[in-house]
Amino acid sequence: MELREDVPAGSTAAIPHDDQGAGRLHMALFAVLLVLFAIAPMFFYPVFLMKVLCFALFAAAFNLLLGYGGLLSFGHAAFFGSASYISAYTAKVWGVTPEVSVILGAITAMILGVIVGSLAIRRTGIYMTMITLALAQMVYFVALQAPFTGGEDGIQSVPRRALFGVLAISPDRTFYYFVLIVVFAAVLLIYRIVHSPFGQVLKAIRENEARAISLGYRVQRYKLAVFVMSATLAGVAGATKALVFQLASLTDVYWTMSGEVVLMTLLGGMGTVFGPLVGAGLVVTLQNYFASFGAWVTIIQGVIFVIGVLLFREGIVGIIAKWIRRPL
Amino acid sequence: MSVVSTDPEIVLSARGLTKEFRGFAAVSDVDLDVRRGTIHALIGPNGAGKTTCFNLLTKFLQPTRGTITYLGRDITGLPPAEIARLGVIRSFQISAVFPHMTALENVRIALQRRRGESMDFWRSDRVLRSLNGRALELLEDVGLTAFARTPAVEMSYGRKRALEIATTLALDPDMLLLDEPMAGMAHEDVDRIAELVKRISRNRTILMVEHNLSVVASLSDHITVLARGRVLAEGDYATVSKDPRVVEAYIGATHD
């Protein structure tokens, strides 16, 4: 069979398609990040850093669904928030240790993810998104009305017990390393999911769903699987957050929380490995430093978001990846 | 309902196949028998219901009435992915590739499905490299070796179609349904793909929708002509091309 053109040069040759090279770059960046975060408490307030880490994981979990699964959920606060409540409740009332409350929170989010996911993926596009929003509002209502959530007060002064029942990690500086390990492990798991045989199928479904079906893939199973994974990991973030602030509150399940995670992901760069982490860092930093402006924070956030979307649709990390011609 | 054929030589069969969209019958009461090892063409003027028929047979559309059997088994109620898993793989009118994946990755997606570990989210995708050898063989078969690492989106139209065929063949299907494989193709590409279709038809059954009548004449063993959603004529090319109703339907269509 004859080839009519030469192998395309230029653009193709410049972008390395060797996944090995990209993998090594990513691992190096993860190592640098880990080192930076390990020494960061010497320079920054640990609670602020822990907040950044929890939201970075929340955004990374959300990005797994949006950026790699191609599914937009506007109800991720339900998973984050319900895990936060369960984590706070089990730590305070049942007196379980931190690792157990994080696991119980994640399991709650997972079960909720199965319910919301199996209903939502029956529809596509905006309809799917609306189903997630509607179901998340129901979770909010439960959090507001149920007897164990503390209503408007939430669950306050949640104790940080000894890790595994033996290691005292209650002080912020010590607890920070517990959070760092949980978040890094979860973010690396997300990285692995994206770069697995499963992740490859997800990519195919996102690129051309009808073709994936015609090759015999049961795409609904893959969509549900990635939905549940995303919900569970968002739960890990929420459960950890409850222990960081020693508080679970209605803010965690409110729809604005769902919006915030969309903002973080888009600002950082959806479908990129590091985008959600950068986006979360940026948004949390803004909220912290502009806290004195009160209600104006949301306006500043909104303006930054609009400018961000107008100037660089691919997000901060997306645009850097474009410059250096490497996936990040 | 008419009796479903039990002739073992009939691979895919439809009886009374009907699809109505809000009262409009796009396909009505179509009977179709595709014989083992043949290239069966489905032709007809624009709007004859060929693609609808195709979508019904692969269950991308649910028929309003009628039955579809594959190897004697009723598949009318199966979802499309399950039809594919039985070994009936379809192509699409607009080329169906995964645009931002390389040619190699495109073929590997199909190979991966047969391997059966596609839910493994905890393993590195490096395990997929074991499929590279087979994927490269398939790409070589369609003349795309040099493009293995090129994203599909950067390939010419004809090559995308070739890639699509390589991807389809990766599943080693017993039956292929090709929806206008030559549509929008340059003349040289038409010959190339026609030769390829001929070559892959060995040991396989092919049903194709095609507009290019010279391709239909040279490739197909059996032709079903559709017009206004109904079967107008059937037989080999010599028979149907002389059928006055077919001639009329085609000439009538030129006024569109």
Where in chain B are the domains? 1-87+175-193+205-256, 96-172
> Which of A11, A192, A211 has the CB atom closest to B92's CB atom?
A211
Contact A1/B142, CB-based, under 8 Å? yes
User: Tens digits of per-residue pLDDT, A170-192?
Assistant: 888 899 999 999 999 999 999 99
- Check residue B86 and give its pLDDT: 93
- As a whole number, the mean pLDDT across chain B is 87
Q: Residue A15 above 50 pLDDT?
A: no
Report whether pLDDT(B63) > 90: yes
Average pLDDT over residues B98-102: 93
Please check the confidence at residue A231 and state whether its pLDDT lies above 60.
yes
pLDDT tens sequence across B35-47: 999 999 998 888 8
Chain B residues near residue A215 by CB distance under 8 angstroms:
84, 89, 109-110, 113, 167, 171
Residue A290 CB-density burial (10 A; 0-12 exposed, 13-18 middle, 19+ buried): middle
pLDDT band at residue B6 under the 50/70/90 scheme: low
Is residue A3 less than 8 Å (CB to CB) from chain B?
Answer: yes
pLDDT category, B18, cuts 50, 70, 90? very high
Helix (H, G, I), strand (E, B) or coil at A318: helix
The answer to whether residues B159 and B144 touch, using CB atoms and an 8 Å cutoff, is yes
pLDDT value at A6 more than 60: no
* A3–B143 C-beta distance less than 8 A: yes
Q: Looking at CA atoms only, how far is residue B249 from chain A in angstroms?
A: 32
Banded model confidence at residue A9, pLDDT cuts 50, 70, 90: very low
Determine how many CB atoms are found less than 10 A away from the CB of residue B73: 10
Q: To the nearest whole angstrom, how far is the Cα of A79 from the nearest Cα of chain B?
A: 21
Which token pair is A307?
């400018």
Cα separation, B116 vs B111, in Å, equals 9
User: How far is it, in rounded angstroms, from Cα B111 to Cα A79?
Assistant: 35
Q: What pLDDT score does A191 carry?
A: 96
Whether A219 and chain B come into contact, CB under 8 Å, resolves to yes
pLDDT at A184: 96
Residue of B95 and A143 predicted with greater confidence: A143
State residue B91's pLDDT score.
85
DSSP at B99: T
Provide ipTM, 2 decimals: 0.84
Q: Are A246 and A26 in contact (CB under 8 A)?
A: no
C-alpha B185: how far from its chain's center? 17
The pLDDT value given to residue A279: 95
Amino acid in position B53: C
Closest chain B C-alpha to A327 CA, distance in angstroms: 12
Predicted pLDDT at B215: 85
Q: Do B128 and A200 touch (CB under 8 A)?
A: yes
Asked whether residue A313 carries a pLDDT value surpassing 90, the answer given is: no
Q: A275-289 and A315-324 are packed helices; what angle lies between their axes, rounded to 10 degrees?
A: 130
Question: Do the Cβ atoms of B113 and A19 come within 8 Å?
Answer: no
Q: Are A243 and A98 in contact (CB under 8 A)?
A: yes
Mean pLDDT, range B106-119, rounded to an integer: 86
pLDDT of residue A44: 92
Q: Of A215, A230, A314, which to mutate for an interface test with B (greatest number of B Cβ within 10 Å)? A: A215
Residues A188, A217: Cα–Cα separation, whole Å:
26
pLDDT for A19 equals 58
pLDDT at residue A1 is higher than 70: no
Span B197-220, average pLDDT: 87
Alpha-carbon distance A148 to A145, whole Å? 9
CATH superfamily of this structure's domain B1-87+175-193+205-256: P-loop containing nucleotide triphosphate hydrolases (3.40.50.300)
CA distance A199 to chain B (A): 7
Q: What integer is the mean pLDDT of B114-129?
A: 82
Measure the CA–CA gap between A25 and A326, rounded to whole angstroms: 9
How many Å lie between the alpha carbon of B61 and the closest alpha carbon of chain A? 12
The proportion of chain A whose per-residue pLDDT surpasses 90, expressed as a percent, equals 72
Tell me the C-alpha distance between B58 and B60, whole Å.
6
Of A8, A199, A216, the CB nearest to B113: A216
Q: Measured between alpha carbons, how far is residue B46 from residues B225, B226, B252 in Å? A: 12, 10, 11
**pLDDT classification of A14: cutoffs 50, 70, 90:** very low
Alpha helices, DSSP H only, in A246-325?
Answer: 250-253, 255-268, 275-289, 296-311, 315-324
Mutual angle of helices A46-63 and A255-268, in 10-degree steps? 80
Average pLDDT score over residue span B71-99: 90
Under an 8 A CB cutoff, do B125 and A201 touch? no
The one-character DSSP state at B4 is: P
Structure tokens belonging to residue A327: 């996936």
| First and final C-alpha spacing in chain A | 38
A26: which chain B residues are within 8 Å (Cβ-Cβ)? none
Enumerate the residues of chain B whose CB falls inside 8 A of the CB of residue A214. Answer: 58, 60, 80, 84, 89-92, 96
Query: Is the confidence at residue A11, as pLDDT, over 50?
Result: no
Distance, CA of B129 to CA of B131 (rounded, Å) = 5
For chain B, where are the E strands, in sequence order? 10-21, 24-35, 39-43, 65-70, 73-74, 88-90, 175-179, 205-209, 222-227, 230-235
Residue A94, pLDDT score: 94
Q: Which of A259, A240, A284 is nearest to A84 (CA)?
A: A240
Per-residue confidence at A307, pLDDT binned at 50, 70, 90?
Answer: confident
What DSSP string runs through B186-236?
A: -HHHHHHHHHHHHHHTTTSEEEEE---HHHHHHH-SEEEEEETTEEEEEE-
Is the pLDDT score of A55 beyond 90? yes
d(CA A63, CA A248) in angstroms, rounded, equals: 24
Please say if the pLDDT value at position B209 is more than 50.
yes
- Per the CB < 8 A criterion, the answer to whether A85 and A155 are in contact is yes
Supply the angle between the helices A98-120 and A76-89 in degrees, to the nearest 10. Answer: 150
pLDDT digits (tens, 9 = 90+) for A138-165: 999 999 999 889 888 889 988 888 888 8
Query: CA B47 to CA A284: how far, in whole Å?
Result: 57
Give me the residue from B97, B125, B192 closest to A197, CB to CB: B125
Digit-coded pLDDT (tens) for A79-125: 999 999 999 999 999 989 999 999 999 999 999 999 999 999 999 88
High-pLDDT (> 70) share of chain A, % = 94
pLDDT tens, position by position, A28-37? 999 999 999 9
Q: Which residues of B touch A199 (CB under 8 A)?
A: 121, 125
Closest CA of chain A from B128, distance in Å: 7
- Select from B113, B147, B156 the Cβ nearest to the Cβ of A215: B113
Burial-class residue A14 by CB neighbours within 10 Å (0-12, 13-18, 19+): exposed
Interface with A, mutate which of B88, B90, B98, B150 (most A CBs under 10 A): B98
